[in-house]
Structure 1
Amino acid sequence: MDQKKVREFTERYLKLNDCHILESGPTYLLTQLSIHADKDLLNRPFYWMYVERMNLPPQPVRLSFVFDPENHPEEIRGEHLFYGTPRFAKILQSAQKHGKFVRLYEEPRYEPAYTDLTKPYSPWLAVNYKVSYVCDQKRDRLCSLGINLNDGTIREGFYEVIKDRRWSNRLPAKRYTVEPRLQVVEAVGELEYYLEETIRCEDLTWAEEAEKRLQSELERLDVFYPDEPSMPDEIQKEKKRRREEIVWQFHPRVEISVINAGLFYVDTPQQNLTNQKIWL
Protein backbone atom coordinates (compact mmCIF):
# COMPACT_ATOMS: atom_id res chain seq x y z
CA MET A 1 0.00 0.00 0.00
CA ASP A 2 1.63 3.25 -1.12
CA GLN A 3 1.42 6.54 0.78
CA LYS A 4 -1.43 7.87 -1.34
CA LYS A 5 -3.61 4.90 -0.45
CA VAL A 6 -2.52 5.08 3.19
CA ARG A 7 -3.68 8.68 3.37
CA GLU A 8 -6.96 7.99 1.55
CA PHE A 9 -7.72 5.08 3.86
CA THR A 10 -6.82 7.11 6.96
CA GLU A 11 -9.03 10.03 5.95
CA ARG A 12 -11.92 7.71 5.16
CA TYR A 13 -11.47 5.94 8.50
CA LEU A 14 -11.45 9.23 10.42
CA LYS A 15 -14.56 10.48 8.62
CA LEU A 16 -16.54 7.29 9.17
CA ASN A 17 -15.56 7.21 12.85
CA ASP A 18 -16.76 10.77 13.55
CA CYS A 19 -13.27 12.26 13.91
CA HIS A 20 -12.87 15.92 12.97
CA ILE A 21 -10.17 16.97 10.53
CA LEU A 22 -8.87 20.19 12.10
CA GLU A 23 -6.16 20.94 9.56
CA SER A 24 -5.09 19.27 6.34
CA GLY A 25 -1.99 19.93 4.25
CA PRO A 26 -0.31 18.24 1.30
CA THR A 27 1.93 16.20 3.62
CA TYR A 28 -0.02 16.00 6.87
CA LEU A 29 -3.35 16.21 8.65
CA LEU A 30 -4.41 17.11 12.18
CA THR A 31 -7.45 15.34 13.60
CA GLN A 32 -9.51 15.39 16.77
CA LEU A 33 -10.32 11.78 17.57
CA SER A 34 -13.77 10.65 18.58
CA ILE A 35 -14.19 8.71 21.81
CA HIS A 36 -14.30 5.23 20.29
CA ALA A 37 -11.44 6.07 17.87
CA ASP A 38 -9.36 7.19 20.86
CA LYS A 39 -10.12 3.91 22.61
CA ASP A 40 -9.16 1.90 19.54
CA LEU A 41 -6.01 3.75 18.48
CA LEU A 42 -4.47 4.75 21.83
CA ASN A 43 -3.56 2.55 24.74
CA ARG A 44 -5.35 4.45 27.52
CA PRO A 45 -7.61 1.92 29.28
CA PHE A 46 -6.99 3.32 32.78
CA TYR A 47 -7.83 6.86 31.64
CA TRP A 48 -11.16 5.79 30.15
CA MET A 49 -11.93 3.62 33.16
CA TYR A 50 -11.34 6.62 35.45
CA VAL A 51 -13.39 9.01 33.28
CA GLU A 52 -16.35 6.65 33.02
CA ARG A 53 -16.37 5.73 36.71
CA MET A 54 -16.06 9.34 37.86
CA ASN A 55 -18.51 10.55 35.19
CA LEU A 56 -16.05 13.18 33.98
CA PRO A 57 -16.19 14.91 30.58
CA PRO A 58 -14.04 12.88 28.16
CA GLN A 59 -11.12 14.50 26.38
CA PRO A 60 -10.11 12.49 23.32
CA VAL A 61 -6.61 13.09 21.96
CA ARG A 62 -5.61 15.16 18.95
CA LEU A 63 -3.25 13.42 16.55
CA SER A 64 -1.11 14.80 13.74
CA PHE A 65 -0.18 12.38 10.96
CA VAL A 66 2.68 13.02 8.52
CA PHE A 67 2.62 11.18 5.18
CA ASP A 68 5.65 12.74 3.45
CA PRO A 69 8.37 13.60 6.00
CA GLU A 70 10.91 14.60 3.34
CA ASN A 71 8.75 17.48 2.11
CA HIS A 72 7.03 18.23 5.41
CA PRO A 73 7.21 21.71 7.02
CA GLU A 74 9.59 21.70 9.97
CA GLU A 75 7.30 23.80 12.17
CA ILE A 76 4.54 21.16 12.10
CA ARG A 77 5.24 18.08 14.15
CA GLY A 78 3.47 14.82 13.66
CA GLU A 79 3.67 11.05 13.65
CA HIS A 80 5.00 9.48 10.45
CA LEU A 81 2.22 7.20 9.26
CA PHE A 82 2.82 4.51 6.66
CA TYR A 83 1.87 0.91 5.99
CA GLY A 84 3.59 -1.23 8.61
CA THR A 85 3.68 1.28 11.45
CA PRO A 86 1.97 0.26 14.73
CA ARG A 87 -0.47 3.18 14.50
CA PHE A 88 -1.64 2.29 11.00
CA ALA A 89 -1.96 -1.34 12.10
CA LYS A 90 -4.27 -0.09 14.88
CA ILE A 91 -6.32 1.80 12.28
CA LEU A 92 -6.67 -1.35 10.18
CA GLN A 93 -7.67 -3.41 13.21
CA SER A 94 -10.25 -0.83 14.26
CA ALA A 95 -11.69 -0.63 10.75
CA GLN A 96 -12.00 -4.40 10.62
CA LYS A 97 -13.65 -4.55 14.03
CA HIS A 98 -16.27 -1.89 13.32
CA GLY A 99 -16.69 -2.67 9.62
CA LYS A 100 -17.30 -6.39 9.89
CA PHE A 101 -20.96 -5.91 8.96
CA VAL A 102 -22.61 -2.85 7.39
CA ARG A 103 -26.07 -1.77 6.30
CA LEU A 104 -26.04 0.73 3.43
CA TYR A 105 -28.60 2.32 1.10
CA GLU A 106 -27.73 3.36 -2.44
CA GLU A 107 -28.17 7.05 -3.01
CA PRO A 108 -30.55 7.72 -5.92
CA ARG A 109 -28.70 8.61 -9.11
CA TYR A 110 -31.49 10.77 -10.48
CA GLU A 111 -34.62 12.05 -8.87
CA PRO A 112 -37.27 14.29 -10.50
CA ALA A 113 -37.47 17.69 -8.87
CA TYR A 114 -41.15 17.37 -8.00
CA THR A 115 -42.62 13.95 -7.37
CA ASP A 116 -44.55 12.23 -4.62
CA LEU A 117 -43.71 8.74 -5.86
CA THR A 118 -41.79 6.42 -3.59
CA LYS A 119 -39.69 3.46 -4.71
CA PRO A 120 -38.69 0.24 -2.97
CA TYR A 121 -35.13 -0.95 -2.63
CA SER A 122 -33.84 -4.30 -3.81
CA PRO A 123 -32.13 -5.93 -0.79
CA TRP A 124 -28.88 -7.81 -1.31
CA LEU A 125 -26.74 -9.64 1.20
CA ALA A 126 -23.05 -9.42 0.30
CA VAL A 127 -20.33 -11.59 1.83
CA ASN A 128 -16.60 -11.34 1.09
CA TYR A 129 -14.91 -14.68 1.67
CA LYS A 130 -11.24 -15.60 1.85
CA VAL A 131 -10.73 -19.03 0.30
CA SER A 132 -7.43 -20.68 1.26
CA TYR A 133 -6.04 -23.74 -0.50
CA VAL A 134 -3.78 -25.26 2.12
CA CYS A 135 -1.21 -28.06 2.10
CA ASP A 136 2.58 -27.75 2.44
CA GLN A 137 1.98 -24.71 0.26
CA LYS A 138 -0.79 -22.11 0.53
CA ARG A 139 -2.75 -20.00 -1.91
CA ASP A 140 -5.44 -17.49 -1.01
CA ARG A 141 -8.11 -15.89 -3.14
CA LEU A 142 -10.94 -13.49 -2.40
CA CYS A 143 -14.49 -14.34 -3.38
CA SER A 144 -17.23 -11.70 -3.24
CA LEU A 145 -20.77 -13.06 -3.47
CA GLY A 146 -24.11 -11.28 -3.32
CA ILE A 147 -27.57 -12.79 -3.01
CA ASN A 148 -30.85 -11.04 -3.66
CA LEU A 149 -33.06 -11.53 -0.61
CA ASN A 150 -36.22 -11.34 -2.72
CA ASP A 151 -35.62 -13.99 -5.39
CA GLY A 152 -32.41 -15.79 -4.37
CA THR A 153 -30.34 -14.62 -7.34
CA ILE A 154 -26.61 -15.07 -6.63
CA ARG A 155 -24.08 -12.69 -8.17
CA GLU A 156 -20.36 -13.38 -8.32
CA GLY A 157 -17.93 -10.46 -8.08
CA PHE A 158 -20.51 -8.45 -6.18
CA TYR A 159 -17.98 -5.99 -4.76
CA GLU A 160 -16.87 -4.95 -8.25
CA VAL A 161 -20.49 -4.19 -9.12
CA ILE A 162 -21.22 -1.92 -6.18
CA LYS A 163 -17.85 -0.36 -5.33
CA ASP A 164 -18.29 2.74 -7.50
CA ARG A 165 -21.83 3.51 -6.38
CA ARG A 166 -22.69 6.10 -3.77
CA TRP A 167 -23.98 4.79 -0.44
CA SER A 168 -25.52 6.21 2.71
CA ASN A 169 -26.08 4.69 6.14
CA ARG A 170 -29.47 6.43 6.29
CA LEU A 171 -32.61 5.69 4.32
CA PRO A 172 -32.92 8.39 1.62
CA ALA A 173 -36.13 10.31 1.08
CA LYS A 174 -38.85 8.74 -1.08
CA ARG A 175 -37.38 5.27 -0.65
CA TYR A 176 -38.63 2.38 1.44
CA THR A 177 -37.67 -1.21 2.23
CA VAL A 178 -39.89 -4.27 2.07
CA GLU A 179 -39.79 -7.48 4.06
CA PRO A 180 -37.47 -9.84 2.13
CA ARG A 181 -38.54 -13.36 1.27
CA LEU A 182 -35.21 -14.77 2.41
CA GLN A 183 -33.97 -14.30 5.94
CA VAL A 184 -30.30 -13.51 6.44
CA VAL A 185 -29.61 -16.94 7.96
CA GLU A 186 -31.19 -18.66 4.95
CA ALA A 187 -29.28 -16.42 2.53
CA VAL A 188 -25.97 -17.20 4.24
CA GLY A 189 -26.74 -20.91 3.88
CA GLU A 190 -27.41 -20.48 0.17
CA LEU A 191 -24.13 -18.62 -0.33
CA GLU A 192 -22.17 -21.25 1.58
CA TYR A 193 -23.75 -24.04 -0.48
CA TYR A 194 -23.05 -22.15 -3.70
CA LEU A 195 -19.42 -21.55 -2.73
CA GLU A 196 -18.96 -25.18 -1.73
CA GLU A 197 -20.31 -26.41 -5.06
CA THR A 198 -18.10 -23.93 -6.93
CA ILE A 199 -15.00 -25.25 -5.16
CA ARG A 200 -15.99 -28.86 -5.86
CA CYS A 201 -16.01 -28.09 -9.59
CA GLU A 202 -12.54 -26.53 -9.59
CA ASP A 203 -9.35 -28.20 -10.77
CA LEU A 204 -8.14 -30.41 -7.91
CA THR A 205 -4.73 -31.21 -9.35
CA TRP A 206 -3.07 -29.28 -6.53
CA ALA A 207 -4.76 -31.55 -3.96
CA GLU A 208 -3.79 -34.73 -5.79
CA GLU A 209 -0.15 -33.61 -5.94
CA ALA A 210 -0.24 -32.71 -2.25
CA GLU A 211 -1.56 -36.20 -1.44
CA LYS A 212 1.36 -37.71 -3.33
CA ARG A 213 3.81 -35.60 -1.36
CA LEU A 214 2.04 -36.61 1.84
CA GLN A 215 2.39 -40.31 1.08
CA SER A 216 6.04 -39.82 0.15
CA GLU A 217 6.74 -38.13 3.48
CA LEU A 218 4.91 -40.86 5.41
CA GLU A 219 6.92 -43.56 3.62
CA ARG A 220 10.10 -41.69 4.48
CA LEU A 221 8.99 -41.56 8.10
CA ASP A 222 8.42 -45.34 8.13
CA VAL A 223 11.94 -45.86 6.81
CA PHE A 224 13.40 -43.63 9.51
CA TYR A 225 11.21 -45.18 12.24
CA PRO A 226 10.65 -48.83 11.18
CA ASP A 227 7.90 -50.64 13.05
CA GLU A 228 9.61 -53.16 15.29
CA PRO A 229 8.28 -54.99 18.36
CA SER A 230 11.28 -53.82 20.34
CA MET A 231 10.76 -50.14 19.56
CA PRO A 232 10.86 -48.13 22.83
CA ASP A 233 7.74 -46.24 23.89
CA GLU A 234 9.55 -42.91 23.55
CA ILE A 235 10.38 -43.64 19.91
CA GLN A 236 6.79 -44.72 19.21
CA LYS A 237 5.49 -41.49 20.70
CA GLU A 238 8.00 -39.50 18.66
CA LYS A 239 6.93 -41.26 15.47
CA LYS A 240 3.26 -40.64 16.23
CA ARG A 241 3.95 -36.97 16.86
CA ARG A 242 5.95 -36.62 13.64
CA ARG A 243 3.21 -38.40 11.69
CA GLU A 244 0.57 -35.99 12.99
CA GLU A 245 2.77 -33.05 12.05
CA ILE A 246 3.31 -34.38 8.52
CA VAL A 247 -0.39 -35.06 7.99
CA TRP A 248 -1.28 -31.55 9.17
CA GLN A 249 1.36 -29.97 6.98
CA PHE A 250 0.78 -31.89 3.73
CA HIS A 251 -2.89 -32.94 3.87
CA PRO A 252 -4.77 -30.80 1.29
CA ARG A 253 -7.74 -28.84 2.54
CA VAL A 254 -9.76 -25.74 1.74
CA GLU A 255 -10.31 -23.22 4.52
CA ILE A 256 -12.97 -20.52 4.15
CA SER A 257 -13.33 -17.46 6.36
CA VAL A 258 -15.57 -14.40 6.22
CA ILE A 259 -13.75 -11.09 5.83
CA ASN A 260 -16.83 -8.89 6.09
CA ALA A 261 -20.46 -8.76 5.03
CA GLY A 262 -23.30 -6.31 4.62
CA LEU A 263 -26.87 -5.61 3.63
CA PHE A 264 -27.01 -3.40 0.55
CA TYR A 265 -30.29 -1.84 -0.51
CA VAL A 266 -29.90 -1.28 -4.23
CA ASP A 267 -31.81 1.45 -6.04
CA THR A 268 -31.03 0.40 -9.63
CA PRO A 269 -33.09 -2.12 -11.61
CA GLN A 270 -32.44 -5.66 -10.47
CA GLN A 271 -31.44 -6.92 -13.91
CA ASN A 272 -28.31 -4.74 -13.84
CA LEU A 273 -26.95 -6.82 -10.98
CA THR A 274 -27.91 -10.35 -11.92
CA ASN A 275 -25.94 -12.79 -13.98
CA GLN A 276 -28.70 -15.35 -14.44
CA LYS A 277 -27.47 -17.61 -11.63
CA ILE A 278 -30.71 -18.46 -9.86
CA TRP A 279 -29.93 -20.76 -6.96
CA LEU A 280 -33.38 -21.26 -5.47
Structure 2
Amino acid sequence: MFGAQVHDYLYTFFKETNCDILLDEEHYLTVQLTIDIDKKIMNRPFYWKYIESTNSEPNPARLTLITDRTKVEKQLFGEVIHFGSARLNQIFKATKELGSFVQMYEKEDSSTGKFTTLTPYFCVNYKVSYYCDQTKERLYSLGINLINGAIEDNFHESICELSLDPKMPEGAFCLQYIIKPSRALERLDLMIQKIIQQDDHTWAEDAKKRWIRELEVLDYFYEGEETRPESYEIEKKALEERFNPRIKVEIINGGLFYLK
Protein backbone atom coordinates (compact mmCIF):
# COMPACT_ATOMS: atom_id res chain seq x y z
CA MET A 1 0.00 0.00 0.00
CA PHE A 2 2.62 2.52 1.05
CA GLY A 3 4.91 1.58 -1.84
CA ALA A 4 2.05 2.37 -4.22
CA GLN A 5 1.52 5.74 -2.51
CA VAL A 6 5.19 6.61 -2.92
CA HIS A 7 5.13 5.51 -6.56
CA ASP A 8 2.09 7.65 -7.38
CA TYR A 9 3.62 10.62 -5.57
CA LEU A 10 6.91 10.31 -7.46
CA TYR A 11 5.17 9.95 -10.82
CA THR A 12 3.11 13.08 -10.20
CA PHE A 13 6.10 15.04 -8.91
CA PHE A 14 8.31 14.27 -11.92
CA LYS A 15 5.47 14.77 -14.39
CA GLU A 16 4.56 18.16 -12.93
CA THR A 17 8.20 19.30 -12.86
CA ASN A 18 8.71 18.44 -16.56
CA CYS A 19 11.14 15.59 -15.99
CA ASP A 20 11.05 12.92 -18.70
CA ILE A 21 9.59 9.68 -17.35
CA LEU A 22 11.50 7.14 -19.42
CA LEU A 23 10.07 4.02 -17.82
CA ASP A 24 7.08 3.61 -15.52
CA GLU A 25 6.59 0.10 -14.19
CA GLU A 26 4.39 -0.86 -11.26
CA HIS A 27 7.19 -0.96 -8.68
CA TYR A 28 9.88 1.28 -10.17
CA LEU A 29 10.35 4.15 -12.58
CA THR A 30 13.23 5.70 -14.48
CA VAL A 31 13.34 9.46 -14.97
CA GLN A 32 15.61 11.98 -16.66
CA LEU A 33 15.88 14.96 -14.35
CA THR A 34 15.82 18.56 -15.49
CA ILE A 35 18.67 20.83 -14.42
CA ASP A 36 16.46 22.54 -11.84
CA ILE A 37 15.27 19.29 -10.23
CA ASP A 38 18.78 17.83 -10.24
CA LYS A 39 19.93 20.86 -8.26
CA LYS A 40 17.09 20.45 -5.79
CA ILE A 41 17.27 16.71 -5.00
CA MET A 42 20.70 15.35 -5.98
CA ASN A 43 23.01 17.20 -3.54
CA ARG A 44 25.61 18.13 -6.18
CA PRO A 45 26.37 21.81 -5.45
CA PHE A 46 30.06 21.52 -6.32
CA TYR A 47 29.27 19.84 -9.65
CA TRP A 48 26.84 22.57 -10.65
CA LYS A 49 29.21 25.29 -9.46
CA TYR A 50 31.91 23.83 -11.70
CA ILE A 51 29.56 23.51 -14.70
CA GLU A 52 28.36 27.09 -14.35
CA SER A 53 31.82 28.57 -13.76
CA THR A 54 33.35 26.79 -16.78
CA ASN A 55 30.34 27.04 -19.11
CA SER A 56 30.49 23.27 -19.56
CA GLU A 57 27.61 21.27 -20.96
CA PRO A 58 25.33 20.18 -18.07
CA ASN A 59 24.48 16.54 -17.58
CA PRO A 60 21.46 16.19 -15.23
CA ALA A 61 21.15 12.84 -13.50
CA ARG A 62 19.02 9.94 -14.69
CA LEU A 63 17.44 8.02 -11.81
CA THR A 64 15.86 4.62 -11.44
CA LEU A 65 13.78 4.66 -8.27
CA ILE A 66 12.53 1.36 -6.85
CA THR A 67 9.39 1.71 -4.74
CA ASP A 68 9.02 -1.98 -3.83
CA ARG A 69 12.16 -4.11 -4.09
CA THR A 70 10.31 -7.30 -3.08
CA LYS A 71 8.09 -7.09 -6.18
CA VAL A 72 10.92 -6.57 -8.68
CA GLU A 73 11.82 -10.01 -10.04
CA LYS A 74 14.61 -9.13 -12.48
CA GLN A 75 18.01 -7.78 -11.48
CA LEU A 76 17.67 -4.01 -11.44
CA PHE A 77 20.18 -1.37 -10.51
CA GLY A 78 18.49 1.57 -8.88
CA GLU A 79 17.81 3.44 -5.67
CA VAL A 80 15.27 2.00 -3.25
CA ILE A 81 13.00 4.80 -2.08
CA HIS A 82 10.50 4.63 0.78
CA PHE A 83 9.03 6.71 3.59
CA GLY A 84 11.90 7.98 5.67
CA SER A 85 14.52 7.68 2.92
CA ALA A 86 16.75 10.69 2.37
CA ARG A 87 15.83 10.99 -1.31
CA LEU A 88 12.08 11.09 -0.62
CA ASN A 89 12.61 13.74 2.07
CA GLN A 90 14.55 15.80 -0.48
CA ILE A 91 11.64 15.51 -2.90
CA PHE A 92 9.19 16.56 -0.16
CA LYS A 93 11.40 19.59 0.47
CA ALA A 94 11.52 20.41 -3.24
CA THR A 95 7.73 20.16 -3.41
CA LYS A 96 7.43 22.75 -0.65
CA GLU A 97 9.86 25.07 -2.41
CA LEU A 98 8.18 24.74 -5.80
CA GLY A 99 4.66 25.38 -4.62
CA SER A 100 2.91 24.47 -1.39
CA PHE A 101 -0.55 25.39 -2.66
CA VAL A 102 -2.20 25.03 -6.06
CA GLN A 103 -5.59 25.82 -7.58
CA MET A 104 -6.63 23.47 -10.36
CA TYR A 105 -9.68 22.84 -12.53
CA GLU A 106 -10.79 19.61 -14.11
CA LYS A 107 -10.68 19.97 -17.87
CA GLU A 108 -13.82 19.74 -19.96
CA ASP A 109 -14.07 17.56 -23.05
CA SER A 110 -14.45 20.28 -25.70
CA SER A 111 -16.12 17.86 -28.09
CA THR A 112 -19.27 17.61 -25.95
CA GLY A 113 -20.04 21.31 -25.92
CA LYS A 114 -21.87 20.86 -22.64
CA PHE A 115 -22.01 23.37 -19.80
CA THR A 116 -20.13 21.98 -16.80
CA THR A 117 -20.61 22.66 -13.09
CA LEU A 118 -17.46 22.21 -11.00
CA THR A 119 -17.51 21.45 -7.27
CA PRO A 120 -14.75 22.83 -5.01
CA TYR A 121 -12.60 20.45 -2.95
CA PHE A 122 -9.85 21.40 -0.52
CA CYS A 123 -6.97 18.93 -0.28
CA VAL A 124 -4.09 18.64 2.19
CA ASN A 125 -1.24 16.11 1.96
CA TYR A 126 0.15 15.23 5.39
CA LYS A 127 3.31 13.43 6.43
CA VAL A 128 3.01 11.74 9.84
CA SER A 129 6.31 10.69 11.44
CA TYR A 130 6.52 8.31 14.41
CA TYR A 131 9.79 8.73 16.29
CA CYS A 132 11.56 6.70 18.97
CA ASP A 133 14.76 4.64 18.56
CA GLN A 134 13.09 3.59 15.31
CA THR A 135 11.29 5.77 12.77
CA LYS A 136 8.16 5.19 10.74
CA GLU A 137 6.51 7.63 8.33
CA ARG A 138 3.17 7.63 6.58
CA LEU A 139 1.62 9.84 3.94
CA TYR A 140 -2.05 10.82 4.07
CA SER A 141 -3.96 12.73 1.41
CA LEU A 142 -7.28 14.11 2.66
CA GLY A 143 -9.79 16.06 0.63
CA ILE A 144 -12.97 17.77 1.77
CA ASN A 145 -15.97 18.75 -0.35
CA LEU A 146 -16.45 22.46 0.34
CA ILE A 147 -20.18 22.20 -0.38
CA ASN A 148 -21.31 19.30 1.84
CA GLY A 149 -18.27 18.76 4.08
CA ALA A 150 -17.68 15.12 3.09
CA ILE A 151 -14.06 14.05 3.68
CA GLU A 152 -12.28 11.64 1.34
CA ASP A 153 -9.15 9.65 2.13
CA ASN A 154 -6.54 8.95 -0.58
CA PHE A 155 -7.69 12.11 -2.34
CA HIS A 156 -4.44 12.49 -4.26
CA GLU A 157 -4.81 9.01 -5.75
CA SER A 158 -8.41 9.72 -6.76
CA ILE A 159 -7.42 12.73 -8.89
CA CYS A 160 -4.16 11.37 -10.35
CA GLU A 161 -5.87 10.18 -13.53
CA LEU A 162 -7.91 13.36 -14.01
CA SER A 163 -6.94 15.98 -16.55
CA LEU A 164 -6.32 19.16 -14.54
CA ASP A 165 -5.38 22.68 -15.56
CA PRO A 166 -4.57 25.86 -13.59
CA LYS A 167 -6.92 27.81 -15.87
CA MET A 168 -10.69 27.58 -15.54
CA PRO A 169 -12.11 25.90 -18.65
CA GLU A 170 -14.43 27.84 -20.89
CA GLY A 171 -18.10 27.04 -20.41
CA ALA A 172 -17.56 25.91 -16.81
CA PHE A 173 -19.35 27.24 -13.75
CA CYS A 174 -17.58 26.95 -10.39
CA LEU A 175 -19.84 26.55 -7.40
CA GLN A 176 -19.10 29.02 -4.61
CA TYR A 177 -17.83 27.11 -1.62
CA ILE A 178 -19.93 27.07 1.54
CA ILE A 179 -17.11 25.91 3.81
CA LYS A 180 -14.20 28.36 3.81
CA PRO A 181 -10.73 26.88 3.15
CA SER A 182 -9.52 28.03 6.58
CA ARG A 183 -12.36 26.10 8.23
CA ALA A 184 -11.73 23.14 5.92
CA LEU A 185 -8.12 23.03 7.09
CA GLU A 186 -9.31 22.88 10.71
CA ARG A 187 -11.58 19.94 9.88
CA LEU A 188 -8.82 18.07 8.08
CA ASP A 189 -6.42 18.69 10.98
CA LEU A 190 -9.01 17.17 13.32
CA MET A 191 -9.39 14.20 10.97
CA ILE A 192 -5.65 13.52 10.85
CA GLN A 193 -5.55 13.69 14.66
CA LYS A 194 -8.39 11.15 14.79
CA ILE A 195 -6.55 8.87 12.39
CA ILE A 196 -3.45 9.02 14.58
CA GLN A 197 -5.46 8.35 17.76
CA GLN A 198 -7.04 5.26 16.18
CA ASP A 199 -3.71 3.95 14.97
CA ASP A 200 -1.88 1.06 16.64
CA HIS A 201 0.39 2.56 19.32
CA THR A 202 2.10 -0.61 20.51
CA TRP A 203 5.28 0.81 18.95
CA ALA A 204 5.29 3.52 21.65
CA GLU A 205 4.69 1.01 24.44
CA ASP A 206 7.50 -1.19 23.14
CA ALA A 207 9.82 1.83 22.94
CA LYS A 208 9.10 2.71 26.57
CA LYS A 209 9.90 -0.88 27.62
CA ARG A 210 13.24 -0.70 25.78
CA TRP A 211 13.83 2.68 27.44
CA ILE A 212 13.28 1.21 30.91
CA ARG A 213 15.65 -1.69 30.18
CA GLU A 214 18.37 0.69 29.01
CA LEU A 215 17.89 2.82 32.14
CA GLU A 216 18.28 -0.27 34.31
CA VAL A 217 21.56 -1.08 32.56
CA LEU A 218 22.73 2.51 33.03
CA ASP A 219 21.82 2.45 36.72
CA TYR A 220 23.68 -0.84 37.12
CA PHE A 221 26.95 0.70 35.88
CA TYR A 222 26.65 3.54 38.40
CA GLU A 223 25.41 1.34 41.25
CA GLY A 224 27.05 2.02 44.58
CA GLU A 225 28.03 5.59 43.81
CA GLU A 226 26.63 7.99 46.39
CA THR A 227 26.74 10.95 44.03
CA ARG A 228 26.01 10.33 40.39
CA PRO A 229 28.52 12.13 38.10
CA GLU A 230 27.55 14.50 35.32
CA SER A 231 28.19 11.76 32.75
CA TYR A 232 25.26 9.80 34.24
CA GLU A 233 22.83 12.66 33.62
CA ILE A 234 24.17 13.16 30.11
CA GLU A 235 23.69 9.47 29.25
CA LYS A 236 20.24 9.44 30.87
CA LYS A 237 19.20 12.46 28.82
CA ALA A 238 20.52 10.80 25.66
CA LEU A 239 18.40 7.72 26.35
CA GLU A 240 15.32 9.90 26.78
CA GLU A 241 15.92 11.64 23.46
CA ARG A 242 16.49 8.29 21.77
CA PHE A 243 13.57 6.26 23.13
CA ASN A 244 10.92 8.83 24.06
CA PRO A 245 7.97 8.20 21.66
CA ARG A 246 6.76 11.24 19.77
CA ILE A 247 4.68 12.01 16.70
CA LYS A 248 5.23 14.84 14.23
CA VAL A 249 2.65 15.96 11.68
CA GLU A 250 3.75 18.05 8.69
CA ILE A 251 1.75 19.52 5.84
CA ILE A 252 3.58 18.78 2.59
CA ASN A 253 1.29 20.74 0.31
CA GLY A 254 -2.35 21.33 -0.51
CA GLY A 255 -4.70 22.78 -3.03
CA LEU A 256 -8.13 23.90 -4.10
CA PHE A 257 -9.57 21.66 -6.81
CA TYR A 258 -12.71 22.26 -8.85
CA LEU A 259 -13.99 18.89 -10.05
CA LYS A 260 -16.99 17.57 -11.96
* Structure-2-length-normalised TM-score: 0.65
Indicate the residue corresponding to 1:213 in structure 2. Answer: 210
CA shift for structure 1 position 29:
8.5
In 1, the alpha carbon distance for the partners of 2:195 and 2:134 equals 21
* 1:99 aligned onto 2:92: no
Indicate the residue corresponding to 2:163 in structure 1. Answer: 166
Aligned partners of 2:12 and 2:160 also within 8 Å: no
Identity among equivalent pairs (%): 30
CA shift for structure 1 position 120:
3.2
* 1:14 aligned onto 2:18: yes
CA shift for structure 1 position 37:
8.2
Aligned partners of 2:122 and 2:146 also within 8 Å: yes
Indicate the residue corresponding to 2:119 in structure 1. Answer: 122
CA shift for structure 1 position 152:
1.5
Alpha-carbon RMSD: 4.1
Letter in 2 for 1:175: A
Indicate the residue corresponding to 2:255 in structure 1. Answer: 262
SS at match of 1:218: helix
Given candidates 233, 242, 254, the residue that maps to 1:240 is 233
CA shift for structure 1 position 112:
2.8
Indicate the residue corresponding to 1:112 in structure 2. Answer: 112
In 1, the alpha carbon distance for the partners of 2:211 and 2:61 equals 50
CA shift for structure 1 position 265:
1.0
Letter in 1 for 2:202: T
How many pairs are equivalent? 213
* Structure-1-length-normalised TM-score: 0.61
SS at match of 2:200: coil
SS at match of 1:179: coil
Letter in 2 for 1:186: R
Letter in 1 for 2:212: Q
In 2, the alpha carbon distance for the partners of 1:186 and 1:129 equals 17
In 2, the alpha carbon distance for the partners of 1:214 and 1:203 equals 19
CA shift for structure 1 position 104:
0.8
Indicate the residue corresponding to 2:188 in structure 1. Answer: 191
**Unaligned 5+ runs, structure 1:** 16-27, 48-60, 69-81, 268-280
Describe how 1:130-145 pairs up with structure 2 within 5 A: 130-145=127-142
In 2, the alpha carbon distance for the partners of 1:251 and 1:169 equals 44
Indicate the residue corresponding to 1:22 in structure 2. Answer: none
CA shift for structure 1 position 64:
5.7
Letter in 1 for 2:18: L
Aligned partners of 1:121 and 1:177 also within 8 Å: yes
SS at match of 2:136: strand
In 2, the alpha carbon distance for the partners of 1:10 and 1:159 equals 15
Structure whose alpha-carbon radius of gyration is higher: 1
Aligned partners of 1:30 and 1:62 also within 8 Å: no
In 2, the alpha carbon distance for the partners of 1:198 and 1:174 equals 39
**Unaligned 5+ runs, structure 2:** 1-7, 20-30, 64-77, 81-86
SS at match of 1:14: coil
Give a deviation string over 1:21-72, Cα, whole Å, max 9, x none.
Answer: xxxxxxx9898x8xx889979867xx9xxxxxxxxxxxxx98565859xxxx
Indicate the residue corresponding to 2:173 in structure 1. Answer: 176
SS at match of 1:263: strand
